[in-house]
């Protein structure tokens, strides 16, 4: 249920350049721009071919490594993305955008302390850029340092007040801290900026669920799904709410759909365990809940429903 609502805002800003004469510098620049054209055509594989051509001419060409990294990212090749970003930074140590993207990549790869180091570098390079604090907030959230995360997201929002995602980030941390009233207040501010932000409505649904307003939770998550049908955890949350509205079979279909979309979400496995407890199937419930209780002892509802499973 509580998969983070934080949107990492991967704005893939390609680096380009202008040129006029046929120097060696401009020849490699042409390959860079041809690669960028392919990226705009949503053809990252062809784009990488042009970036490689540029790198054959200059193996220290930081912009080509950076753009090639973004092509890998489009193909969900996270290891290659981080490798190319690291090369871009090797040859251009103050490359802000490359450090930012690598920090996000480290986060997605579970390398939280490497991401923290990149966050520190960004703050040294530019402590007036909202992205410096945004990355810091994401790292501290992953490390469960919630006060530090909230301070960082608040600072990012002060620097970029029209960005509704940053407000949703703040509300997410307040939700983790169980300050539901403050979270709702921040979400209302985000609504004023962008009422069509799906993560906003998903987070509202999670607050309603914790307040035992299951109908409100269902309505809110259905709004999130109507705005973005690609998020597995939206369907999983809807499945959870349906379980508590005594619509177990509908719930199971959605939970299974979520697992097909993202098999690594432990909250979906927990919800299957809850389903089997509600159906009185002790053996199946224990298959899910025992391991989850070992691996995620702080996950909400796991201990409660494990105890219920043992009493079946």
Domains and their CATH numbers in the chain: 1-109 (1.25.40.10)
Answer yes or no: is pLDDT of 296 > 60.
yes
Q: Which of 12-26, 111-125, 147-161, 234-248 has the lowest mean pLDDT?
A: 12-26
Look at residue 8 in the predicted model and tell me its pLDDT: 44
pTM of the model: 0.85
- 244 vs 274: CA distance, rounded Å: 10
- 81 vs 66: CA distance, rounded Å: 9
Answer yes or no: is pLDDT of 295 > 50.
yes
- Of all residues in the chain, the percent with pLDDT exceeding 70 is 92
Confidence bin at 264 (pLDDT 50/70/90): confident
Confidence bin at 5 (pLDDT 50/70/90): very low
Confidence bin at 23 (pLDDT 50/70/90): low
The owner of tokens 């490699």 is 28
Look at residue 22 in the predicted model and tell me its pLDDT: 53
Q: Per residue in 56-100, pLDDT tens?
A: 999 999 999 999 999 999 998 999 999 999 999 999 999 999 999
Answer yes or no: is pLDDT of 142 > 80.
yes
Confidence bin at 201 (pLDDT 50/70/90): very high
- 293 vs 118: CA distance, rounded Å: 33
Confidence bin at 29 (pLDDT 50/70/90): confident
Q: Which residues of 90-125 are buried (b: 16+ CB within 10 A; e: fewer)?
A: ebbeebbbbbbbbbbbbbbeebeebbbebbbbbbee
- 134 vs 160: CA distance, rounded Å: 10
Answer yes or no: is pLDDT of 155 > 60.
yes
Q: What's the first-to-final CA gap in the chain, in angstroms?
A: 24
Look at residue 17 in the predicted model and tell me its pLDDT: 53
Look at residue 116 in the predicted model and tell me its pLDDT: 97
- 263 vs 129: CA distance, rounded Å: 36
Answer yes or no: is pLDDT of 10 > 70.
no
Q: Which two tokens stand for residue 239?
A: 């499945």
Average pLDDT, the chain: 92
Q: Which of 3-7, 56-60, 152-156, 281-285 has the lowest mean pLDDT?
A: 3-7
Confidence bin at 28 (pLDDT 50/70/90): confident
Look at residue 217 in the predicted model and tell me its pLDDT: 98
For the chain, the residue count is 312
Confidence bin at 26 (pLDDT 50/70/90): confident
Look at residue 20 in the predicted model and tell me its pLDDT: 47
Q: Reduce the DSSP state of residue 43 to 3 states and report it.
A: coil
- Of all residues in the chain, the percent with pLDDT exceeding 90 is 85
Confidence bin at 113 (pLDDT 50/70/90): very high
Answer yes or no: is pLDDT of 2 > 80.
no
Contact 170, 150 (CB under 8 A): yes
What number is the average pLDDT over the span 165-185?
96
- 305 vs 309: CA distance, rounded Å: 6
Give CA 188 to chain center in angstroms: 22
């Amino acid at each position: 249920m509580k998969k983070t609502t934080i949107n990492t805002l991967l704005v893939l800003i390609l680096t380009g350049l202008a040129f006029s004469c046929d120097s060696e510098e401009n020849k490699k620049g042409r390959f860079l721009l041809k690669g960028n054209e392919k990226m705009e055509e949503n053809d990252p594989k062809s784009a990488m071919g042009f970036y490689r051509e540029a790198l054959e001419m200059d193996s220290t060409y930081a912009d080509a490594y950076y753009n090639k990294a973004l092509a890998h990212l489009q193909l969900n090749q996270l290891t290659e993305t981080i490798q190319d970003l690291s090369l871009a930074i090797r040859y251009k140590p103050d490359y802000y955008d490359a450090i930012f993207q690598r920090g996000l990549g480290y986060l997605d790869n579970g390398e939280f302390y490497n991401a923290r180091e990149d966050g520190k570098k960004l703050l040294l390079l530019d402590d007036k850029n909202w992205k410096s604090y945004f990355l810091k907030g994401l790292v501290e959230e992953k490390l469960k340092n919630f006060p530090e995360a909230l301070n960082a997201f608040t600072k990012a929002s002060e620097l970029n007040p029209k960005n509704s995602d940053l407000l949703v980030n703040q509300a997410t941390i307040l939700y983790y801290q169980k300050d539901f009233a403050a979270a709702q207040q921040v979400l209302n501010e985000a609504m004023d900026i962008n009422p069509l932000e799906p993560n906003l409505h998903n987070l509202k649904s999670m607050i309603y669920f914790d307040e035992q307003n299951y109908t409100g939770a269902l309505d809110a998550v259905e709004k999130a799904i109507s705005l973005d049908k690609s998020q597995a955890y939206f369907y999983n949350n809807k499945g959870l709410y349906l379980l508590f509205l005594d619509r177990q079979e509908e719930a199971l279909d959605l939970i299974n759909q979520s697992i097909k979309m993202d098999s690594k979400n432990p909250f979906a496995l927990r919800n299957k365990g809850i389903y089997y407890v509600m159906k009185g199937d002790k053996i199946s419930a224990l298959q899910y809940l025992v391991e989850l209780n070992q691996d995620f002892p702080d996950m909400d509802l796991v201990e409660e429903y494990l105890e219920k499973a043992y009493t079946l």
